[in-house]
Structure 1
């Protein structure tokens, strides 16, 4: 057994928390989070820090020393380090792919798919492609989504329908892209291989997308009108003037996807993607090395005079990921104290009373992630907190960690759009100009994925067991030791 695991186990045995004191830091954090984010329109960092201080005080009151509490925070941060490395690489990829004209090429050819009858299907697919390429639902909605809203409403399509199709497409890519911060966060915090996590999510995401596209095709079959061809032509023209658009540039995302299929580890695959983007900017777009390095560090910047093109191609870079990195670190100091002090164990003892089967476990995970979205108003926290609360139970029930990581995304990443005061709901209203009650029924992928996930949980379909595990106490299945763990035995 590893020393960290032994220390955690020893602490849990030495100090028992009552449910009341265990829940105090969560109640304080959630209360301040609601006031800070909803009322004051500020970020989630300070409420998490206040929650961390409260958790530290409760731990010290119960009998831990400050040195022990400090070590708990460091352990929590160490759990997130793999995700932090990936998030940093994501920033490099986005900046280099924008500067290299790779994103522009994908969008240019994607715009050709627009047609009046199948507009909802087309805009959903385009947003899927763009968000899959850049790994960001917000960037997709703030660029392609804004243009799609104007075009769709000009056709006479309900704004709620258009926004729903945009959101479904944006979150399809956000959920499955190896560049997505939430995807890397869910896989990193559950100790799941990134590409195993993505492949396991295909079982819920692909059926949800197919059903959504079928409904969008039905809704769009009665649409009449014409696309604003002049606006599309002008945008495409500016893109051609600003970038060298070439189908050859599509080889870059194809290579990265190919490496995913060949099970290349995430870090080397993303590094190669960033290098290819850098080379594309220098040797295909004709920028100098200084500009390409600036795109990697600060993000790509361009001024064309076209608001849509400027908004679409300004961003990325290492600096753009520091908010996510800092939020992850702060959240994990909070989670580290809750976990290693035994507070989460006390809370889990209450929650475990509701869990009787794999179905109820996964349904509880999805429900906990949704409630965290509602109470904490931040989708990242809806992944961080439940991931630490449920990880041990999945192991004890002999369930592979990718079941947990998928449930976190189905219940956390996707349901964030249905909470009006969640940062995602606020962003969508401010960007697309449509409220939750209007677009909610049409954000079909976001609605269907949690439902499909729960159906799988109760039927046993696609539920992965831990391979090579024995039986632990109470007949529970013990997880098989990894190679690194065996080396420390």
Structure 2
């Protein structure tokens, strides 16, 4: 059978909902067991889900050769995201090796003020996370230091954790270096920087609300015991000892931001960042060409006397992104079978019975992402699976794909922190020492943004539409088999 004729075969019958849901249920149950009980990675549950989906499809009349091509087609959909994720590994390695990240963090830490600690730590975490594209690394470094400083000031640890999480996830969500940001844009065929600009409609107001709340809380809870931030000073000293800190290095992110403003495509803009970071490593930090090449491949390695500084800077490189890449590929084999066999369509038919119009579709997306976080215990899955479930629906309803990519982040990336058994909830508890049910009321950004997203969907403000011609062109490009053989209505 030729590849172009792959999807022209007939199945014995259309999938019923109870049959289509079996692979998802198997994946969810195995995911819960793997993450919560075995404390292992989500790859194997996804593989088990893929095998189950293949068996269900074979029972329904598909041949294995067809399913194999569907898995490849699913992987192909994720290739743009995979390319950008690998580019992100290169840029992180070059920016750390070039002292760019250290400079951004150093000057960010200089603005800390005990009197407005909650607001300040939220902003600092936002700056650091924006610079490195990782909420986890930010919480494991600046967050840990912030917890120690805040507790010494007499502030409730849950409040500090909430401020740290809000800032860290703001930066992670808005950073072009973030893996979840690249996943959401890539899996929905949305330009990375267009996706980031569209997220400003929900994320920036969410940050403003968070800062206002932290300001009000901060001026009422900070007592007279405002000891000097010694931990921060130790970190700054260590960074000075291991990097050349210069305001001129801030030109590197400034130029990349300029590329974003000028609407340069993601890959060329990131290539500019990689080149500039590598030049800084050689010309400013005095690294050899071999060392700079190692930063790009293996990431930066720092052995200082400060463990927090080591944790913050020992990362990056192409190999550092292979976990995310492999997880994405495995997830897309699962999604490929579910989508191209029609299983997802059978499930979507049930969901769309209650999801009507822009408000219903966006609300259903956010709820689905949260439910996936709760059942699959992994924020990556909460982006990957709903992205394939809802993309066709958005296009058919003349909603631009960037509405979906934004909703995936609003409902998936941000809500992962509220599930105690989710990998994010577990990580935060182990790092900051505060349980999810304690910091949840103070993770202002994480629950405010989804609410804002629903309000925008109800009012129509900040919702991007496409024309009927653009809708038809998209369907013709991505679903050519259905244009040639339209389903019966």
Instruction: Give me the TM-score of the superposition, normalised by structure 1.
Output: 0.94
Matches within 5 A, 1:422-461: 422-461=422-461
Change (3 A) 1:486 1:315: closer
Residue of structure 2 in register with 1:339 after alignment: 339
1:197–1:437 distance in 2 versus 1, CA, 3 Å: same
1:108 lines up with 2:96 in the alignment: no
Shift of 1:233: 2.5
Deviates more, 1:149-158 or 1:369-378: 149-158
| Structure-2 residue corresponding to 1:295 | 295
Partner of 1:285: 285
1:210 deviates by: 0.5
Within 2, Cα distance between the matches of 1:139 and 1:299? 14
From 34, 45, 48, give the equivalent of 2:46.
48
Alpha-carbon shift at residue 480 of structure 1 (Å): 4.2
Structure-1 residue corresponding to 2:322: 322
Give me the whole-angstrom Cα distance separating, in 2, the residues matched to 1:406 and 1:485: 21
Give CA deviations for 1:4-31 in whole Å, capped at 9, x if unaligned. 7x855x4688741111110000000000
- The 1:483/1:277 distance shift into structure 2, 3 A limit, reads farther
Unaligned runs of 5+ in 1: 471-476
1:246 alignment partner in structure 2 = 246
- Partners of 2:182 and 2:192 within 8 A in 1: yes
Gaps of 5+ in 2: 484-489
| Match among 124, 127, 130 for residue 129 of structure 1 | 127
Tell me if structure 2 keeps the 8 A contact 1:398–1:479.
no
8 A contact 2:145–2:231 mirrored in 1? no
Q: Offset of 1:486 from its aligned partner?
A: 13
Where in structure 2 are the equivalents of 1:14-29 lying within 5 Å? 15-29=13-27
Q: Is 1:153 aligned to residue 151 of structure 2?
A: yes
Task: Give the Cα–Cα distance (whole angstroms) in 2 for the partners of residues 230 and 49 of structure 1.
Answer: 48
Please give the secondary structure, in 2, of the residue aligned with 1:427.
Answer: helix
Residue 239 of structure 1 and its aligned partner are, at CA, apart by 1.1
Give the secondary structure class of the aligned counterpart of 1:202: helix
Q: In structure 2, what is the equivalent of residue 469 of structure 1?
A: 468
Matched position secondary structure for 1:336: helix
CA apart distance, 1:40? 0.9
Task: Give the stretch that moved more between structures: 202-211 or 297-306.
Answer: 297-306
What secondary structure is seen at the aligned counterpart in 2 of 1:178? coil
Q: CA deviation at 1:231?
A: 2.9
| Secondary structure of the corresponding residue to residue 317 of structure 2 | coil
- Please tell me whether residue 204 in structure 1 is matched to residue 202 in structure 2: yes
* Length, aligned pairs only: 478
Look up the match of 1:312.
312
Q: Distance in 1 between matches of 2:38 and 2:404?
A: 33
After TM superposition, the structure 1 = structure 2 runs for residues 209-220 of structure 1, keeping only pairs within 5 Å, are 209-220=207-218
Preserved contact between residue 12 and residue 341 of structure 1 (Cα < 8 Å): no
Residue 160 of structure 2: aligned partner: 162
- Is residue 30 of structure 2 the alignment partner of residue 37 of structure 1? no
User: What RMSD, in angstroms, separates the aligned Cα atoms of the two structures?
Assistant: 2.0
Q: Return the match for 2:181 from 183, 195, 204.
A: 183
Which region of structure 1 is more displaced relative to structure 2, 125-134 or 45-54?
125-134
Cross-structure match for 2:487:
none
Residues 136 and 174 in structure 1, CA contact (< 8 A), matched pair in contact too:
yes
Structure 1 residues 230 and 138, CA, compared in 2 at 3 Å: closer, same or farther? closer
Q: Secondary structure at the match of 1:117?
A: helix
Q: CA deviation at 1:464?
A: 0.9
Q: Deviations 1:183-225 (Å, cap 9, x if unpaired)?
A: 1111111111111111110000000000100111111112122
Q: Is 1:351 paired with 2:351?
A: yes
